[in-house]
Chain A
Amino acid sequence: MTYPMSEAAVADTRRLNSKPQDLTDAYGPPSNFLEIDVYNPQTIGVGRNRFTTYEVRMRTNLPIFKLKESCVRRRYSDFEWLKNELERDSKIVVPPLPGKALKRQLPFRGDEGIFEESFIEERRVGLEQFINRIAGHPLAQNERCLHIFLQEESIDRNYIPGKVRQ
């Protein structure tokens, strides 16, 4: 005797089966560890030849970066160089840098201009946001210029642009 197939009055909403998670995966360090600090600003030089450098320290466990820890000194124009390289070579929309502050570089100001403490701090925060935004971008991580910026002592402006493979 066959009865007509009647559909369930209430839909089956039980969870789909899934593999239980490995405990080392659950409680181990995550695979996306990436921290970059821009700090310790120092103004070097005298008079009109002064400029400010910032320490850029990176700690990561991403395999694409050769060094898991690195620490380099960079100035504002180095950040500008990185922005230009990425705008030219990568497909990403590069976030904005903190302002160039040209007005602050004019003479006859009442304050220290671009060497004013509050301005340096403002710029430091902007640069930190900028570099963290970029370094976490999967497409930017493939660019040689980013690796040079973060992990090489000095930036070779004559480098050969290209992609980094894992």
Chain B
Amino acid sequence: MSFFSFGQSAEIDIVLNDAETKKKVEHKTEDGKKDKYFLFYDGETVSGKVNVTLKNPGKRLEHQGIKIEFIGQIELYYDRGNHHEFVSLVKDLARPGELTQSQTFDFEFTHVEKPYESYTGQNVKLRYFLRATISRRLNDISKEMDIVVHTLSTYPELNSSIKMEVGIEDCLHIEFEYNKSKYHLKDVIVGKIYFLLVRIKIKHMEIDIIKRETTGTGPNVYHENDTIAKYEIMDGAPVRGESIPIRLFLAGYEMTPTMRDINKKFSVRYYLNLVLIDEEERRYFKQQEITLWRKGDIVRKSMSHQAAIASQRFEGSSNNEKAVAQNKEDSN
């Protein structure tokens, strides 16, 4: 901020090259509001232009260099001063000198590694942003532009169901089953609760999704639990031999993929909590971790397309049309 009415200042504006066509996604800010940001994936190039507009036309802007940085960092709320940067790239746009008129600089960060997903949580934030800086003797002028990164996975090879018998001896025995241990964010949890022994008076049963954000290490570990969903699956008293079905659609809830020990700084894990409540409001529960992952819409298309090309190479031309038509159908 300039305290003098004379002297020169400038406004910086960062514009991405494919701003018109690039997809934007909603992402929660620290104060709970939702904003839209450009979406990037790991390995994607980040390129664009930095527009420097002089505030007082005609006057020169002296500077010690103009640069743009691409930064990925983790910020723990209880330790704001220390930003843990896990990605830090810089491009010099101009050597020290002076600007006599407004100018535009091109930049390109090629195939940038973005190993983690953007995350804004209760005690920690992981963000990626571009920062253009005009260095000056007294005060720098800078502008930041946040982007959001999603990490994609494909269907896991191994995805066993979760099946367990639990209970309180001689009072309550149940067997619960969930069809998978790894679910994508738009998946459905299909399961069942089978009652083996019921000697208590159950009033109803629900299944909750709990998000646990863990920050800190060693003796300073802190868990923040948040119940994302509560879904009643049974109302009334079951008896032995009854089987209660579960069908819980995850797309309706705001969740992130499971994040384990991100840069050794934090984790975000999800648990299914099966809760039975008896007539005296006593709660009996069993928690089970599930792994959440993000399925890409893009990945499938490109894989099918690559597979179509591969099949053309090995199967002979007579099957080409069939393969291409099949893939057209699949990707629709």
With contacts A16-B245, A31-B198 taken as known, whether A4 is within 8 angstroms of B279 at the C-beta atoms is no
Whether A25 is near chain B, meaning CB under 8 Å from some CB there, is yes
Which residues of chain B from 15 to 42 have a CB within 8 Å of any chain A CB?
none
Whether A108 is near chain B, meaning CB under 8 Å from some CB there, is no
Q: Are A13 and B191 in contact (CB under 8 A)?
A: no
Q: Which of the 9-residue segments B66-74, B166-174, B212-220, B226-234 touches chain A?
A: B166-174
Which residues of chain B from 159 to 185 have a CB within 8 Å of any chain A CB?
168, 170-172, 177, 179
Q: Are B190 and A16 in contact (CB under 8 A)?
A: yes
* Distance in Å: Cβ of B122 to nearest Cβ of chain A: 29
Q: Are B194 and A19 in contact (CB under 8 A)?
A: yes
With contacts A34-B201, A137-B282 taken as known, whether A18 is within 8 angstroms of B192 at the C-beta atoms is yes
Whether B87 is near chain A, meaning CB under 8 Å from some CB there, is no
* Distance in Å: Cβ of A4 to nearest Cβ of chain B: 4
Whether A22 is near chain B, meaning CB under 8 Å from some CB there, is yes
Whether B59 is near chain A, meaning CB under 8 Å from some CB there, is no
Whether A166 is near chain B, meaning CB under 8 Å from some CB there, is yes
Q: How far is the CA of A62 from the CA of B179 in the complex (A)?
A: 34
Q: How far is the CA of A55 from the CA of B1 in the complex (A)?
A: 83
Whether A30 is near chain B, meaning CB under 8 Å from some CB there, is yes
Q: How far is the CA of A54 from the CA of B269 in the complex (A)?
A: 53
Q: How far is the CA of A136 from the CA of B240 in the complex (A)?
A: 18
Interface digits, A1-21 against B, CB 8 Å rule (1 contact, 0 not)? Answer: 111101100011111101101
Whether B7 is near chain A, meaning CB under 8 Å from some CB there, is no
Q: In this complex, what residue of B is CB-closest to A23?
A: B241
Interface digits, B277-289 against A, CB 8 Å rule (1 contact, 0 not)? Answer: 0111010000000
Q: Are A31 and B199 in contact (CB under 8 A)?
A: yes
Q: List residues of chain B with CB within 8 A of the CB of A3.
A: 307, 311, 323, 326
Q: Are B323 and A21 in contact (CB under 8 A)?
A: no
Q: Interface size of A by Cβ–Cβ distance < 8 Å? A: 33
With contacts A7-B300, A19-B243 taken as known, whether A32 is within 8 angstroms of B200 at the C-beta atoms is yes
Q: Are B188 and A11 in contact (CB under 8 A)?
A: yes
> Which of A18, A28, A141 contacts B243, CB < 8 Å?
A18
Whether A138 is near chain B, meaning CB under 8 Å from some CB there, is yes
Q: Are B304 and A4 in contact (CB under 8 A)?
A: yes
Whether B315 is near chain A, meaning CB under 8 Å from some CB there, is yes
Main secondary structure of the interface of A (DSSP, over half): loop
Main secondary structure of the interface of B (DSSP, over half): mixed
Interface digits, B296-317 against A, CB 8 Å rule (1 contact, 0 not)? Answer: 0000100110011001000100
> Which of B170, B247, B330 contacts A6, CB < 8 Å?
B330
Q: How far is the CA of A66 from the CA of B282 in the complex (A)?
A: 25
Which residues of chain B from 236 to 293 have a CB within 8 Å of any chain A CB?
237, 239-243, 245, 247, 278-280, 282
Q: List residues of chain B with CB within 8 A of the CB of A68.
A: none
Q: How far is the CA of A138 from the CA of B172 in the complex (A)?
A: 9
Whether B197 is near chain A, meaning CB under 8 Å from some CB there, is yes
Q: How far is the CA of A62 from the CA of B279 in the complex (A)?
A: 16
Q: List residues of chain A with CB within 8 A of the CB of B179.
A: 16
Q: How far is the CA of A14 from the CA of B245 in the complex (A)?
A: 10
Q: Are B170 and A16 in contact (CB under 8 A)?
A: no
Q: In this complex, what residue of B is CB-closest to A133?
A: B280
With contacts A14-B190, A25-B239, A30-B239 taken as known, whether A1 is within 8 angstroms of B311 at the C-beta atoms is yes
Whether B187 is near chain A, meaning CB under 8 Å from some CB there, is yes
Q: Report, nearest first, the 3 A-B pairs whose CB atoms are least far apart.
A: A18-B243, A4-B307, A21-B241
Q: A4-B304, A136-B280 are in contact. List 14 more A-B contacts (CB 8 A).
A: A2-B311, A4-B307, A13-B247, A15-B245, A16-B179, A16-B190, A18-B192, A18-B194, A19-B194, A21-B242, A28-B239, A30-B198, A31-B198, A138-B171
15 contacts between A and B (CB under 8 A): A1-B319, A2-B311, A3-B307, A3-B311, A4-B303, A6-B300, A6-B304, A18-B192, A25-B239, A25-B240, A30-B237, A31-B198, A32-B200, A138-B199, A141-B171
